[in-house]
């Protein structure tokens, strides 16, 4: 029988045996022994049967072709189990087929195959974990993989009994990025799409329901921008988003020059370049997801829907964030549209509106409230805000600006000035010259330059948020010098915030400087006379230290923000081909200034030229919290007694391999929009329960505020 097993259907038995022996001598011996003991029998099939088996039909898997042509035993072994299964399932062929029996796979080969597949699984998990832990901010696209893998059954691709069932289920959960929670509510909440938490819980426990109209106002780069141009390279992108969605990534990779032409604004006017028309997308989907799987406002919209909100009483006021606020009204009538929308909502429902803002959206709203009162703006009068707006909810607001805006404009180095996902492409496919040209054309970006100067951000003697280090700890560099040069010489001296803003005026070309001075002011008013003399000056409407809150004693401003994440606070710089700050004016070419990325291991709070401080990962704590915790509680800046509530949330993310976005406890700058407790507070406010939401401090912002010398 052993001989018959070696030569099924005759011919080529010696060569087949030698090939098997060369591949694995032990396996060949085991196979021959098994065949000898088992008495294997081979039956010759009719040609019609062979043809039927060779043709796949319907959704059944194709079966191996079996003919009378001699085949090697190795080929029969590979397909034998599938052939036997096909024969057993095909009742119509029972009369034509005999019994087919082949030598079983050697136990050693099965065992090695199991270990091979197990090794692949473990290797893939190790690689994935390494990527996520090494740089999770650049792995946000894993969320898209979550969507693709969430319903995938990994059991279907592994042989039965290869690994224990509970192990395979754990692997499936891990690759699906399901939360593996602890005991706390925030660590066990599954925030996959459609979970609608915490709204479902609050509706049941606190009986929350919709009361006020809601308008969501996104931050910088959150709103999608779509092309309405019809000339030249624009045609393939007509009505497609060149910011947001996969079209943006395709354009950057394959058509970069055209993409840059669309994203830049005209240097002279601050508006669209000739032949180019880019406009903000409309509707709730304008900023619900940046790309598929990467939510921005998506979680908030889902939760509001549980309370009963829909597109009739909830809107997203997207805008072209590249434009200055003055030009937003001039080109798009953005603030006029927002005013009308709020007025119509009051007339139709009898309820006032809650404005929920994120990041730069807080400044857009500050500008709107001053614009709507002013005779040079919406001409609504002193009482309009009080009559129409119930509350302003600032999520990770930027009242006093963001220092990283300075580095974006000085040297074209942005380190997540844009979304982390887009940041990767811009860093790798655009040089500093291209980035600087694009950033400097965005007159909306300059609204985020730090405000308050040295009074808020410190001087060369120190800063309000400096952290002292003891004798045994590594040295902590002060934040008072916003721009540091290693030598600190008289030609390249260290720069305070006031100095750094002056340095920027030397770097910008005359057109960019003219537009900056046309649109914004960054100082501090300390008297009522100064406030009164600039009441209708649109340049101060984005600076809370240079204008007063509206006459709205019945309105509440809620400041909800995270802290505890490493945040850019100041920088080490170097200059190429110049020895003096007086030689830095640039009309064209790569910026002369650049971040000095040399290692400074002796400084604990410095990494690759960036001085890190406290904040939400994007906005420093001083900007997030000073106005809410102190500034707006002073009569000069809040003369009408608007209620101010500050709530801080410690950034407490899950491990990256459990949830790449940090889960329901994350409160960094973007992911705070999915934070469980923050979302719960927002739902209470829009449900008319804002009076139950009170101050909550967990950082040192009150201590820092005491060090700021502003009346």
Backbone φ, ψ for residue 213 (5° rounding): -70, 150
**CB-CB neighbours of 604 under 10 Å:** 15
| Cβ contacts of 498 within 8 Å, gap of 6 or more | 453, 454
Q: Which of the following is catalytic: 326, 388, 547, 669?
A: 669
How many CA atoms within 13 Å lie on the side-chain side of 456? 30
| Cβ contacts of 339 within 8 Å, gap of 6 or more | 368, 372, 378, 380
Token match 């393939």: residue? 236
Complete DSSP assignment for 220-263: TTTS-EEE---SGGGGGGBTSEEESHHHHHHHHHH-HHHHHHHH
DSSP-derived pairing of the beta strands 314-316 and 213-217: parallel
Query: CA 36 to CA 170: how far, in whole Å?
Result: 42
Query: CA 446 to CA 143: how far, in whole Å?
Result: 31
Beta strand residue intervals within 596-675, DSSP E: 606-607, 610-615, 643-650
| Cβ contacts of 419 within 8 Å, gap of 6 or more | 221, 222, 290, 294, 670
Token match 């009483």: residue? 313
Q: Is 616 labeled as catalytic in the residue annotation?
A: yes
> Cβ distance 567 to 403 under 8 Å?
no
Query: CA 245 to CA 571: how far, in whole Å?
Result: 32
Q: Is 669 labeled as catalytic in the residue annotation?
A: yes
Classify residue 115 by burial, with Cβ atoms within 10 Å: 0-12, 13-18, 19+.
Answer: exposed
DSSP state of 46: P
Q: Which of the following is catalytic: 187, 223, 229, 359?
A: 359
Nearest to 629 by CA among 462, 463, 456, 469: 456
List Cα–Cα distances, 667 to 6, 395, 678, 700, in angstroms: 68, 10, 8, 17
List Cα–Cα distances, 436 to 260, 412, 580, 589, in angstroms: 12, 4, 21, 10
Q: Say how many residues make up the chain.
A: 711
Q: Is 388 labeled as catalytic in the residue annotation?
A: no
DSSP state of 620: B
Q: Which of the following is catalytic: 465, 616, 659, 668?
A: 616
Query: CA 667 to CA 676: how far, in whole Å?
Result: 9
Q: What is the CA radius of gyration of the chain?
A: 33
Beta partners for residue 334, in sequence order: none
Structure-block tokens of residue 606: 């410095």
Backbone φ, ψ for residue 575 (5° rounding): -120, 135
DSSP-derived pairing of the beta strands 241-243 and 225-227: antiparallel
| Cβ contacts of 407 within 8 Å, gap of 6 or more | 413, 414, 415, 568, 571, 595
Query: CA 258 to CA 273: how far, in whole Å?
Result: 12
> Cβ distance 627 to 704 under 8 Å?
no
**CB-CB neighbours of 144 under 10 Å:** 16
Query: CA 97 to CA 52: how far, in whole Å?
Result: 12
Token match 């591949």: residue? 23
Query: CA 280 to CA 286: how far, in whole Å?
Result: 8
> Cβ distance 238 to 228 under 8 Å?
yes
SS3 483: strand
Query: CA 611 to CA 569: how far, in whole Å?
Result: 6
Catalogue the active-site residues: 359, 616, 669
């Amino acid at each position: 029988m052993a001989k018959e097993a070696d030569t099924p259907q005759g011919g080529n038995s010696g060569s087949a045996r030698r090939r098997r022996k060369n591949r694995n001598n032990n396996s060949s011996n085991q196979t021959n022994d098994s065949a000898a003991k088992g008495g294997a029998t081979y039956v010759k099939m009719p040609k019609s049967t062979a043809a039927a088996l060779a043709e796949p039909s319907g959704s059944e898997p194709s079966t191996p072709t079996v003919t009378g042509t001699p085949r090697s035993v190795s080929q029969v072994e590979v397909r034998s189990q599938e052939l036997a299964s096909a024969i057993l399932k095909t009742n119509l062929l029972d009369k034509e087929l005999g019994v087919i029996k082949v030598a079983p796979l050697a136990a050693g080969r099965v065992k090695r195959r199991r270990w091979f597949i197990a090794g692949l699984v473990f290797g893939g998990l190790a690689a994935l974990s390494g990527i996520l832990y090494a740089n999770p901010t650049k792995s946000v696209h894993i969320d898209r993989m979550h969507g693709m893998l969430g319903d995938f059954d990994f059991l279907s691709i592994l042989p039965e009994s290869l690994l224990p069932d509970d192990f395979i289920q754990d692997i499936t959960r891990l690759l699906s990025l399901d939360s593996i929670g602890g005991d706390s509510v925030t660590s066990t909440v599954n925030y996959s799409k459609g979970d609608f938490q915490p709204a479902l819980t609050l509706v049941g426990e606190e009986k929350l329901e919709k009361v006020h109209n809601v308008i969501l106002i996104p931050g910088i780069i959150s709103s999608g921008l779509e092309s309405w141009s019809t000339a030249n390279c624009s045609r393939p992108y007509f009505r497609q988003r060149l910011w947001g969605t996969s079209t943006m990534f395709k354009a950057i990779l394959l058509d970069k020059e055209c993409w840059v032409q669309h994203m830049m604004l005209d240097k002279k006017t601050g508006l669209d370049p000739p032949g180019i028309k880019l406009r903000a997308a409309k509707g709730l989907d304008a900023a619900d997801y940046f790309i598929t799987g990467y939510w921005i406002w998506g979680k908030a919209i889902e939760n509001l829907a549980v309370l009963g909100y829909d597109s009739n009483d909830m809107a997203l006021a997207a805008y072209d964030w590249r434009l200055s606020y003055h030009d937003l009204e001039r080109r798009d009538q953005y603030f006029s549209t927002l005013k009308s929308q709020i007025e119509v909502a009051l007339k139709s429902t009898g309820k006032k509106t809650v404005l929920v803002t994120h990041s730069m959206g807080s400044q857009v709203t500050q500008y709107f409230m001053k614009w709507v009162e002013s005779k040079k703006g919406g001409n609504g009068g002193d009482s309009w805000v009080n009559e129409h707006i119930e509350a302003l909810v600032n999520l990770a607001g930027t009242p006093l600006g963001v220092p990283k805006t300075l580095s974006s404009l000085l040297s074209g180095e942005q380190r997540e000035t844009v979304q982390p996902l887009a940041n990767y492409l811009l860093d790798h496919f655009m040089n500093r010259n291209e980035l600087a040209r694009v950033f400097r054309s965005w007159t909306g970006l300059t609204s985020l330059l730090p405000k308050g100067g040295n009074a808020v951000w410190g001087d060369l003697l120190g800063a309000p948020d400096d952290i002292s280090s003891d004798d045994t700890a590594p040295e902590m560099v002060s934040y008072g010098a916003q721009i540091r040069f290693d030598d600190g010489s008289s030609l390249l001296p260290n720069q305070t915030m006031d100095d750094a803003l002056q340095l920027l005026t030397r770097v910008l070309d005359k057109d960019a400087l003219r537009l900056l001075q046309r649109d914004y002011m960054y100082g501090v008013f300390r008297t009522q006379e100064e406030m009164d003399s600039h009441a209708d000056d649109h340049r101060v409407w984005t600076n809370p230290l240079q204008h007063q809150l509206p006459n709205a004693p019945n309105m509440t401003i809620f400041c909800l923000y995270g802290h505890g994440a490493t945040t850019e606070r100041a920088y080490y710089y170097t200059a190429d081909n110049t020895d003096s700050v007086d030689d830095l004016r640039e009309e064209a070419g790569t910026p002369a200034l650049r971040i000095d990325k040399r290692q400074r291991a002796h400084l604990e709070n410095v990494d690759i030229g960036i001085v890190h401080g406290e904040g939400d990962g994007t906005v420093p704590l001083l900007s997030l919290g000073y106005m809410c915790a102190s500034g707006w509680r002073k009569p000069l800046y809040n003369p009408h007694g608007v209620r101010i509530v500050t709530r801080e949330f410690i950034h407490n993310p899950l491990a990256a391999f459990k949830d790449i976005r940090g889960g329901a406890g994350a409160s960094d700058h973007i992911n705070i929009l999915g934070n469980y407790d923050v979302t719960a507070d927002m739902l209470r406010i829009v449900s008319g329960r804002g009076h139950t939401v009170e101050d909550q401090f967990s950082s040192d912002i009150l201590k820092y505020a005491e060090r700021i010398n502003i009346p």
